[in-house]
Amino acid sequence: MRFNQFSKSSGSGFIHGPSGDITPQAVYAQRRDWLKHMAAGAAGLSMAAWASREALAQTPSDVVVRPGKLAPLTGAVSRVSGANTMEKITTYADASSYNNFYEFGTDKSDPAKYAHTLQIKPWTVEVEGLVKKPGRFDLDALLKLSPMEERIYRLRCVEGWSMVIPWVGYSLAELIKRVEPLGSAKYVEFITQADPKTMPGVRSRVLDWPYVEGLRMDEAMHPLTLLSFGMYGEVLPNQNGAPVRLVVPWKYGFKSAKSLVKIRFVEKQPVNSWGRSAPQEYGFYSNVNPNVNHPRWSQATERRIGEDGLFAKKRKTLMFNGYEAQVGQLYTGMDLSKLY
Amino acid sequence: MKLVFRQALQHRSAKPVLWLLCLLPFAWLVWGAANDALGANPAEYLIRATGDWTLRLLCLTLAVTPLRVMFGLPELARLRRLLGLFTYFYVVLHALCYSWLDMGFEWGEVAADIAKRPFILVGFSAFVLLTQLALTSFNRAIRWLGAKRWQWLHRLVYVVAVLAVLHFFWMRAGKSNFAEVFVYASVILALLAWRAVHSSLWRHLFSSGGFTR
C-alpha cells in the first residue's frame, strides 16, 4: 500500500480529482526528493521501519485510507520512536468533522461547517525572536525543508475524548535547527492566524486573538513534536489547521496550535491563550496526565471516538498519552501536579 | 383568533398532542443513536441533548403561568403538570446518560464525582429537588400535604431553575462559551422576575406601603 504510493510517483502519477485539487508543485518536488532518497539508499531504512510495522500489523491501522478529497501529501513511515502507534485509526469523517477550532465557532461541528472560508494561499510563516537566522518562509519553502514523514499519533483532547490520526509532516526540530536559536532562547511561541474576515469565530470575544501556544525549547526540539502539513495522506483540511500546524502528541490537543503564521523564540515562558483565559483550569504544560483532574471533569479516562461503542466503558488515559517512554525524561524532577 | 386558540387548548386532543410533541426529541435521540446519526461522539451528544431538553421544558413549564395571566388563557393551566413531568422525564434521561455513558454505572465513581465537582453537585441537587416535585405531582398529594404546604414545596421549582442554569454555566465556563447559557438565563430570569412582580407578597408590600415604612 505504502510502497505503491512511492512507485506511483514515478509512473502514471496519482489519480487526480478536480483541477483545484491538482498536486502543488512543492509536493511534486517532494516526491522527486523522495526518489533521490530512495536512489541514495535512504529508503532502505524507512522501508525497514515500514516492514517492521507491517510485520506487527494486525489491525486496519496499517493501511491509511486516503479519503480522496484533497491534494495528496504522503510521507515515509517515520523512524522516530513512538511515531507509529498500532491502534485503530479514527475515520477521516470523524477526524475532519469533530474538533475544536474556536476561530470558526465554539461547537465542535463548527470548524467543518465554516472553515471553507479560510484563505491558505498565499501563506507565510514568520520566524522571529532569539534566532540567528530569522525570516519569512512561504509554504512551498516549508514543504521542501525536510522529507515528509507519516506519523500515527494518539490525540487526547482535554475534554476527555481521543482519536488516532495519521499526520504528515516532519519534526519541528528540523525547522528550529535551520534558524539557529540563540542560547537565550528558552521557549518557543506559536502564533496562529486570526483573520476576522475569513474566521467568523474571531469576531467573538471567547478568547483573546490571535490564539497563542508555547513550548519549552526541549519540548519543541523533541523529535515527536511535529510540524504537520497533512493527514490521511492528503494536505490538511482547513478545519484541521491548514496549511501548517503543530502536533504535540503527549499534550492535550489545544497545545497543538493550528494554521501557524508566526514562530517566535523567546526567553520567558509565553502565556498561552487558554492559560490566559482560565489559568486555574489550563496550565502551560498541559501534559496528558490521568492523575491531574480538570476542575470540572476527571482526566482518568477517555472516550475513543468512533471506536468504543456507545455503552462501552471509557478507556484509561495513559500518562503523557502513552508517550512516557519518549518524553518522560523531559519532566524529571518536576512536580506535575503543580506544573500541570 | 384567540377564541379558536382557546378552543384548541380545550379540545380533548390537546393533551395527547402535547404528549407527542414532548416525545419528539426523545424519538429523535433514540433514532439517532440507533442509526449512528448523532455525530462523532454520540455519548456526548446524548448527555448534552437531554440536558438541553430539560432546560427547554423547564422554561416552558415556568412560562405557563405568566402566559396564562398575560394573555388570559386559563386553559393553559391544565397543561402545566404535563410539561413539568416531561421536564422530569428529560432530566432522568440526562442523569441516566451521564451515569451510564460517562460513568459506566460505577456508583462509587458517580458519588465521588458528585462530591468532587461543584458543577456535578449543582446538577445533582437540581435533580433531587425535581424528583420530589415529580413524586408529589398527582392530585392526591395535594390533599395529603395540604394545599399550602404543597404549594410551598412546588415553589422549589424556582430553586431548580437557578441551579439548572448554574450547572449549565459551569459546564461551559471552562471553554468561555456563554452564548447559550445567556439565552436560558435571560428566559428564566424574565419568568422569575414576572413572578416576583406579580407575587402577592410584592402587592401586599406595595399596597400597604411596605417599602416606605
Q: What is the pLDDT of residues A311-330, one digit of tens each?
A: 778 899 999 999 999 999 99
How far apart (Å, rounded) are the C-alpha atoms in residues B97 and B127?
13
Given an 8 Å threshold on Cβ–Cβ distance, is A310 in contact with B42?
Answer: yes
Q: Structural domain of residue B56, as residue ranges?
A: 2-207
Residues 43-102 of A with CB under 8 A from B: 93-94, 97-98
Residue B205 has pLDDT above 70, yes or no: no
Burial of residue A311, with CB atoms counted within 10 A of its CB: 0-12 exposed, 13-18 middle, 19 or more buried: exposed
SS3 state at A120 = coil
Q: What is the mean pLDDT of residues B59-86?
A: 94
What's the confidence (pLDDT) of residue A155? 98
Q: Is the Cβ–Cβ distance between A84 and A15 less than 8 Å? A: no
What's the confidence (pLDDT) of residue B206? 59
As given in the structure block, the three cell numbers for residue A208 are 483573546
Contacts B104 to A, Cβ<8 Å: 313-314
Q: What is the mean pLDDT of residues B4-13?
A: 88
Rounded to the nearest angstrom, the minimum Cα separation between B122 and chain A is 12
Write the residue in A94, A106, A310 that is nearest to B43 by C-beta. Answer: A310
Contacts A206 to B, Cβ<8 Å: 175-177
| Range in A100-114, A292-306, B147-161 the model is least confident about | A292-306
Residue A45 has pLDDT above 60, yes or no: no
Q: What is the mean pLDDT of residues B172-199?
A: 89
What tens digit of pLDDT does each residue of B14-70 get? 999 999 999 999 999 999 999 989 999 999 999 999 999 999 999 999 999 999 999
As given in the structure block, the three cell numbers for residue A68 are 480522496
Given an 8 Å threshold on Cβ–Cβ distance, is A297 in contact with B117?
Answer: yes
Contacts A277 to B, Cβ<8 Å: 176
Q: Which residue has the cell 523531559?
A: A330
First to last CA, chain B: 47
High-pLDDT (> 70) share of chain A, %: 81
What's the confidence (pLDDT) of residue A163? 97
Q: Interhelix angle for B14-34 vs B80-97, to 10°?
A: 10
High-pLDDT (> 90) share of chain A, %: 70
Residue A303 forms contact with B (CB below 8 Å)? yes
Q: Which residue has the cell 533521490?
A: A36
Given an 8 Å threshold on Cβ–Cβ distance, is B171 in contact with A206?
Answer: no
Given an 8 Å threshold on Cβ–Cβ distance, is A314 in contact with B104?
Answer: yes
Three-class SS of B9-46: HHCCCHHHHHHHHHHHHHHHHHHHHHCCCCCCCHHHHH
Q: How many domains does chain B have?
A: 1
Alpha-carbon distances of B213 from B205, B207, B210, rounded to whole Å: 10, 12, 6
What's the confidence (pLDDT) of residue A313? 80
Q: Is residue B13 part of a domain?
A: yes
Number of CB atoms found within 10 A of residue A103's CB: 30
Residue A143 has pLDDT above 80, yes or no: yes
SS3 state at B63 = helix
Residue A43 has pLDDT above 50, yes or no: no
Given an 8 Å threshold on Cβ–Cβ distance, is B101 in contact with A278?
Answer: no
How far apart (Å, rounded) are the C-alpha atoms in residues A299 and A157?
10
Cα Rg of chain B (Å, integer): 19
SS3 state at A91 = coil
Q: Is residue B213 part of a domain?
A: no
Residue positions counted in chain A: 340
Residues 6+ apart with CB under 8 A from B173: A278, A296
Write the residue in A295, A306, A313 that is nearest to B104 by C-beta. Answer: A313
Given an 8 Å threshold on Cβ–Cβ distance, is A94 in contact with B40?
Answer: yes
Instruction: Tell me which CATH code domain A78-331 carries.
Output: 3.90.420.10
pLDDT level of residue A249 (50, 70, 90 thresholds) = very high
Q: Is residue B212 part of a domain?
A: no
Cα Rg of chain A (Å, integer): 19
Alpha-carbon distances of A34 from A80, A83, A159, rounded to whole Å: 18, 20, 39
Alpha-carbon distances of A104 from A163, A235, B9, rounded to whole Å: 21, 19, 43
Write the residue in B33, B113, B174 that is nearest to A310 by C-beta. Answer: B33
Q: What is the mean pLDDT of residues B198-212?
A: 60
pTM of the complete model? 0.80
Q: Is residue B74 part of a domain?
A: yes
- Which of A282, A296, A303 to mutate to probe the B interface, most B CBs <10 Å? A296
CA dihedral B123, B125, B131, B133 (to 10 degrees): -110
Residue A34 has pLDDT above 70, yes or no: no
Of B123, B149, B39, B18, nearest in space to A303 by CA: B39
Residue spans of the domains in chain A: they are 78-331
What tens digit of pLDDT does each residue of A191-221 get? 999 999 999 999 888 889 999 999 999 999 9
Of A234, A111, A254, A161, nearest in space to B42 by CA: A161
How far apart (Å, rounded) are the C-alpha atoms in residues A235 and A215?
25
Rounded to the nearest angstrom, the minimum Cα separation between B84 and chain A is 29
Q: Is the Cβ–Cβ distance between A134 and A271 less than 8 Å? A: no
Q: Is residue B174 part of a domain?
A: yes
pLDDT level of residue B202 (50, 70, 90 thresholds) = low
- Contacting A with CB below 8 Å, chain B residues are 33, 39-44, 46, 100-102, 104, 113, 116-117, 119, 170-171, 173-177, 179
pLDDT level of residue A294 (50, 70, 90 thresholds) = confident
Given an 8 Å threshold on Cβ–Cβ distance, is B174 in contact with A281?
Answer: yes
Three-class SS of A270-311: CCCHHHHHCCCCCCCCCECCCCCCECCECCCEEEECCCCCCC
SS3 state at A35 = helix
Q: Is the Cβ–Cβ distance between B111 and B124 less than 8 Å? A: no
